[in-house]
Structure 1
Amino acid sequence: MCLKLRNADRLQTAASFKAYLLKDSTKTNLNLYDHLTRVLMKVMDERPHNAVDVFEDISRDVKRGLFEEKQSTLRDLTEATAAEQLAEQQRLLFSRLEDADQEEELVEMFLPNVSEIAFYLEQAGVGLGREEMQRIFLALKQLVESQGLQHCRLWGKILGTESSYIVAEAEHREGDEEEEDQSIEAAAEEEEEKAEAEENENDPLPQSTYKPPPVVPKEATGTGANKFIYYVCKEPGLPWVRLPTVSPAQINAARQIRKFFTGRLDAPVITYPPFPGNEANYLRAQIARISAGTQVSPQGYYQAGEDESNEEDEVPHDTYEVNPDFEGLPVSEMADSLSTWVHHIQHILQQGRCTWVNLAMKQGDEFNEETEAEDREEETDEPEPEVGPPLLTPLSQDAEITNTPPWSSKMSSTLTAQHAVAVLRSNLWPGAYAYACGKKFENIYIGWGLKYAGVGYNPPVPPLPQREYASGPEITEALDPTLEEEQALKEALEEQQAAEEEMEDSEDEEDD
C-alpha cells in the first residue's frame, strides 16, 4: 500500500514538473521542454567532441534558428579586443611619410640605431626581443617627429603591476620651460595670498613659534638631476607623455620608500614617509637615481667640458664632451677591470641635488648690512658644503652594500673573444646593464625600478612625539625645602640686607 502511494506521488510530481517546463515564456512563444528536446536532439545528431564546452553555443544556435525568418538583416558588431586595438594603433608606426621634406629633416636629427643596439644587447643576454625593439625604434622616430627633438635615446623599460613604462631620454632644449611648474607656483602664491587675507579679516589667532626647515630649491631644467627630459609610453604606438621635473624632496622621499609601479601615471603613492606627488613624480625620481648610479661609459670616451664660469669657483664640472681622440679599449681589459669604466652623470648628494646649496644664506630683502655682520660673526656655525665624487670617476671607487660588489663584469663569449663585447651589470640597481665594443657603448635599464636593499627592507621609524612645552625652572615642579634650608636662606638674606645697609651708610658719610 505504501509503495503504491509513493509511486502515485512520484507520478504527480513528474507531471507537475513537466507542466512547469511546458509553460511558455512571456517574451517568446517557446517553452523550456521543447527547447531542451531540440538541443539534446542536435547534440545526438552532431556528437561534438566537447559537448559541455559548446552546450551554450548550441542552445543559442537552436533558439536563433527558430527566428531566422523574422531576424533582421543587420549583423551583430563584434567588439575589438585589446590586442586588436593596440595593433591598429601600432599600424600607424609602419606608415611611410609622404612628404620628402620631413624625411630630410629626420636625417639631421640624431636617432640611435636601435636595431644595432638590440643586436649587441642580445649578445650580452639582455633585451626586449627583436620585434619589440623594432616597434620601440619606430615609436622613438614618431616622438622625434612630433616633438622636434635633436637627440633622443631609449633609456629602458620599467615594469609595473598593471602595465609597464617605456622610457625615452632627450636633451634639454633652450627656451623649453615647463608650464606645469609655473602653474603650480602661481597656484601656491594665490593660496598664500588668500590665507593672508583671511588672517587679516578674522581675529588674530596665537601664532606658533615653530619654523619649518628651509625648502631645498629645485635644480633648473637642463642642470643636475633635471639635465635631461624624459618621455614615457605604455606600448609602442600609444601617445608619449612627458614627465615633470624632479625636486630634492621627491628624491629624498624616494630613497626611504619601496613601492612597485602600477603603470598609471596619475596613481597616488601611498607610503610612509609620505611622498610629495603621484606616480609620475615617483617615476621621475627613480629615473634620476638610476641614471646617477648606473650611466657609465668607457674611460676616455668623454672628457670634461671647458666651462670658464666654474674655473674660479669650487663648483664641480657638470659638462662633458666626446673625446675625438678616443680609439677604444680592449674588450678583455674592460671585462676584467672596473677602472676602465667611469660615471658620466653627476652624483646626487644627500641634499637631493647634484650641486650643494647653502640654505643658511639669507637672500632677498632680508639681507642687509646688519645681517651680513651677524653672518660674519657666525661663520663657525655655517654648514660645511657637501661635495660628491667628481665627474668621470672610475667605477672601482664605488661603495659596496652589505658586502655586495656594486658591479659585475664579463665577456659575452669566451670562445670567440675577437667578436665578443664587454658586459657590465649593476648589483645595486638590478636591471641596469652596459656594453662596450670598440668605440660603441650603450646603457639600458630593464627592471622594477627598485634598488637592492641588502638582507631586507626596514621602513623608517616614526619620529618621537613633540614636547608640549619647553622644560625649565619656571614651570618644572620642585621639592619643598626643609626647615633647615628655609632657616639658612633667611639668615643669608638678612646678612645680605645688612651688608647693603652698611654700604649705603658709608656712601652717605663720604658724600658729607
Structure 2
Amino acid sequence: MESTDGNDAKSEQRLKSAAALKSFMLKSSTESKLNLYDHLSRVLMKVMDEHPDNAVDVIEDVSREVKRGLFEDKQSTLRDLPQTTAAELLAEQQRLLFSRPEEADQEEELMDTPLPNVSEVAFYLEQAGVGLGREEMQRVFLALKQLVESQGLPRCRLWGKILGTESSYIVAEAEYREGEEEEENTEDAAEDEERDVEKEMNPLPQSAYRPPPTVPKEALGTGANKFAFYVCKEPGLPWVKLPSVSPAQITGARQIRKFFTGTLDTPIVSYPPFPGNEANYLRAQIARISAGTQVSPQGFYQAGEEEGDEEDEAPRDSFEVNPDFEGVPVAEMAESLSTWVHHVQHILQQGRCTWVNLAVKPGDDSNEEGEGEEKEEEPDEPEPEVGPPLLTPLSQDAEMLNIPPWTSKMSSVLTSQHALAVLRSNLWPGAYSYASGKKFENIYVGWGLKYSGEGFSQAVPPPPQKEYPSGPEITEALDPSVEEEQVLKEALEEQQAAQEEKEDTDDPEEEDDD
C-alpha cells in the first residue's frame, strides 16, 4: 500500500510540473506575440512533413523559417508614402516653367524678344568646354523668359552662376526700365530732406572733427550701375533684384575675401568691416567681374556719337554696334589678344567708373569769402584719376603675380574650320568668352573671388640626421677583470721603470759634454 501511495504522489507531482511547464510555454512574447508551445509544435510538424537530412543540425534554420513564415503572412504589402523631398518640391515649382499660357499667340512669339538665343549660346559654350549643361541651360532660359515677362525688361541675358557653400546664385543681367532712375533719385532726395529736418529739430553739439567725404553713388544706367542684376537659387524659384552698388562697397569688397553662402541677408563678418550684407557684397563682386572680364571682338562695337566739346574731355561710356563689322578670323583671335577689347568701363580706385572731385562742395555759390579759401586749397586738390578708355585691347592688361591675365586657345585643332576662339581669364577664374564670326558671348561660372596666388603649402621637413659613426673612440668596451687590471698595472710599471733607466743613462753623457 505504501508503494502505491508513493507512486500516486509522484505522478501527481509530475502532472503538476507538466501543467506548470505547459502554462509557462503558453505565455506569449511581448515583442512577437508568439508562444513557445505553438512554435515548437509547428517546428516538429515541419520536421515530420519534410524529413530533412541531419535534422539536428538544421533545427535552428527550420525554427527561423517557421517564424519568418508567420510574419510574412501577417505583413501587409502596402507601404507608407515617404515625405516629399526637396527635389520633388523643386520639380513641382519648375513644372510651371514648361506650361504655356493659352493667351499667348504665335505671332507675338515670332517677334523680337529681349532674350538671346540661349540654346545657341549653350551650344557654343559646350564647344568651348564651359557652361551649365543642356538641361540646366534650358531651364535657365525658361526662368529668364519668366523674369522678362513678369518685370517687363527691355533686354536680359544670362550673366553666369556664382557658387556658394550652401546654395548657388544664377545671375541675370538686364537693362533698367524707363523711369527707374527717377524713382530712386526721388527716394534719395526724400531721405536727405528727412535728415535735414531731424538735424534742425534736434541740433547736436558741433565737433571740430570732419569725417572724410562720402563718394557719391553712380546713377542708375551709368558706370558700375549701368545694368540691373537679378539672382535666383534654382530655375523656377523667385528672382530677387540686387540693390545698386556704391563706391564704398566696391572698395570694401577689394579688401576682403569671403565665400558666398547662398543667402542674401547673411551678414558679412570681416575686417575691415564691409558696409552691407551678402546681397551688397554679391553686387560689388559682379561689378568687379564685369569690369574686368566682359570683352568682345575688336570692331564689333564702336564709340557712340557724342555732341559737345565738354563731353569729349570726359571718358566715353557709350558705344553702339558697328553695322560694318565683318568678323575676325578665329585663328587670329586665338593667337593675339589685341583682337579682343573691353566693352565695360574700368572701375577706378575711388570705386566709381567716373572720377569725382570730393574737394569741391556742391552748391557752394559764395564768391567773396570763398575766393581766398579756394586759392589756399588749390595745391591740396587731388589729381583726377583716369582709367583706360572703353574698347581698350586686352594686350594692354597688366599682369598680376607674374601670371598673364588671359589665356586664349581654339576649341578644336582637328576641325579648325568649325572651331571657336575661346578666352579664359586668369585673374578671375571662371570667366570665359568665345567668338565665332559675328557671334560672341561672356559667361562666368565660379566662386566670385579674384586670383590671389597659389595657396599656402607646408614646407618640406628637413632630412633626418645621420646615425653616429661607429669607431673605437665612442664604442663602449667591456670592463676588464681583476687579473687583466693587474697585468696592465705591471706592464705600465715596467714601462715607467724602463723610461727612468733611459733618462739616467742619458744624464752622464750630457755632463761629459759640458
Give the TM-score, by structure 2 length: 0.72
How far apart are the structure 2 equivalents of 1:234 and 1:41?
57
Q: Please say if 1:123 is aligned against 2:122.
A: no
How far apart are the structure 1 equivalents of 2:198 and 2:342?
47
Checking the alignment, whether the CA contact within 8 Å between 1:244 and 1:280 is kept in structure 2 is yes
How far apart are the structure 1 equivalents of 2:274 and 2:235?
29
User: Which stretch of the first structure deviates more once superposed, 172-181 or 147-156?
Assistant: 172-181
Q: Please say if 1:166 is aligned against 2:165.
A: no
Q: 1:313 to 1:410 in 2, by over 3 A?
A: closer
Q: What is the CA distance between 1:236 and its match in structure 2?
A: 0.5
Q: 1:367 to 1:217 in 2, by over 3 A?
A: farther
Runs of 5+ in structure 2 lacking a partner? 1-23, 40-60, 457-514
Say which SS state the counterpart of residue 32 (structure 1) adopts.
coil
Q: 1:300 to 1:313 in 2, by over 3 A?
A: closer
Aligned twin of 1:432: 431
Aligned twin of 1:221: 220
Write the deviation string for residues 161-191 of structure 1: whole angstroms up to 9, x where unpaired: 0100000101122211486786677567646
Q: Which amino acid in structure 2 is aligned with residue 87 of structure 1? A: A
Q: What is the CA distance between 1:108 and its match in structure 2?
A: 2.9
User: Which stretch of the first structure deviates more once superposed, 329-338 or 118-127?
Assistant: 118-127
Q: What is the CA distance between 1:196 and its match in structure 2?
A: 5.8
How far apart are the structure 2 equivalents of 1:281 and 1:62?
63
How far apart are the structure 2 equivalents of 1:361 and 1:447?
41
Q: 1:400 to 1:99 in 2, by over 3 A?
A: same
Say which SS state the counterpart of residue 387 (structure 2) adopts.
coil
Aligned twin of 1:110: 114
Q: What is the CA distance between 1:336 and its match in structure 2?
A: 0.3
Aligned twin of 1:256: 255
Say which SS state the counterpart of residue 169 (structure 1) adopts.
strand
Aligned twin of 1:328: 327
Q: Which amino acid in structure 2 is aligned with residue 428 of structure 1? A: L
How far apart are the structure 2 equivalents of 1:336 and 1:258?
33
User: Which stretch of the first structure deviates more once superposed, 155-164 or 141-150?
Assistant: 141-150
The 5 A counterparts of 1:177-256 are 177=181, 186=190, 190=194, 193-194=197-198, 197-199=201-203, 207-256=206-255
How far apart are the structure 2 equivalents of 1:211 and 1:35?
88
Checking the alignment, whether the CA contact within 8 Å between 1:97 and 1:103 is kept in structure 2 is no
Checking the alignment, whether the CA contact within 8 Å between 1:106 and 1:145 is kept in structure 2 is no
Say which SS state the counterpart of residue 34 (structure 1) adopts.
coil
Write the deviation string for residues 342-399 of structure 1: whole angstroms up to 9, x where unpaired: 0000000000000000000022257444214421453222111000001000000001
How far apart are the structure 2 equivalents of 1:381 and 1:331?
51
Aligned twin of 1:403: 402
Aligned twin of 2:499: none
The 5 A counterparts of 1:369-384 are 369-384=368-383
How far apart are the structure 2 equivalents of 1:332 and 1:162?
41
* Aligned with residue 95 of structure 1, among 99, 106, 117: 99
Checking the alignment, whether the CA contact within 8 Å between 1:248 and 1:353 is kept in structure 2 is yes
Q: Please say if 1:449 is aligned against 2:432.
A: no
* Aligned with residue 84 of structure 2, among 80, 84, 94: 80
Write the deviation string for residues 466-495 of structure 1: whole angstroms up to 9, x where unpaired: xxxxxxxxxxxxxxxxxxxxxxxxxxxxxx
Q: Which amino acid in structure 2 is aligned with residue 227 of structure 1? A: K
Aligned twin of 2:422: 423
How far apart are the structure 1 equivalents of 2:446 and 2:81?
40
Q: Please say if 1:273 is aligned against 2:272.
A: yes
Q: 1:195 to 1:109 in 2, by over 3 A?
A: same
User: Which stretch of the first structure deviates more once superposed, 288-297 or 371-380?
Assistant: 371-380
How far apart are the structure 1 equivalents of 2:359 and 2:352?
16
Identity %: 74
Runs of 5+ in structure 1 lacking a partner? 1-18, 25-29, 49-57, 458-512
How far apart are the structure 1 equivalents of 2:148 and 2:335?
38
How far apart are the structure 2 equivalents of 1:333 and 1:36?
88
Write the deviation string for residues 120-176 of structure 1: whole angstroms up to 9, x where unpaired: 111111011100001111111111111111211100000000100000101122211
Q: What is the CA distance between 1:209 and its match in structure 2?
A: 2.2
Q: What is the CA distance between 1:309 and its match in structure 2?
A: 4.3
* Aligned with residue 135 of structure 1, among 135, 139, 149: 139
Say which SS state the counterpart of residue 392 (structure 2) adopts.
coil
Q: What is the CA distance between 1:272 and its match in structure 2?
A: 0.7
How far apart are the structure 1 equivalents of 2:360 and 2:27?
90
Checking the alignment, whether the CA contact within 8 Å between 2:421 and 2:436 is kept in structure 1 is yes
Q: Which amino acid in structure 2 is aligned with residue 216 of structure 1? A: V
How far apart are the structure 2 equivalents of 1:404 and 1:143?
39
Q: Which amino acid in structure 2 is aligned with residue 289 of structure 1? A: R
Give the length in aligned residue pairs. Answer: 409
How far apart are the structure 1 equivalents of 2:274 and 2:324?
46
Aligned twin of 2:384: 385
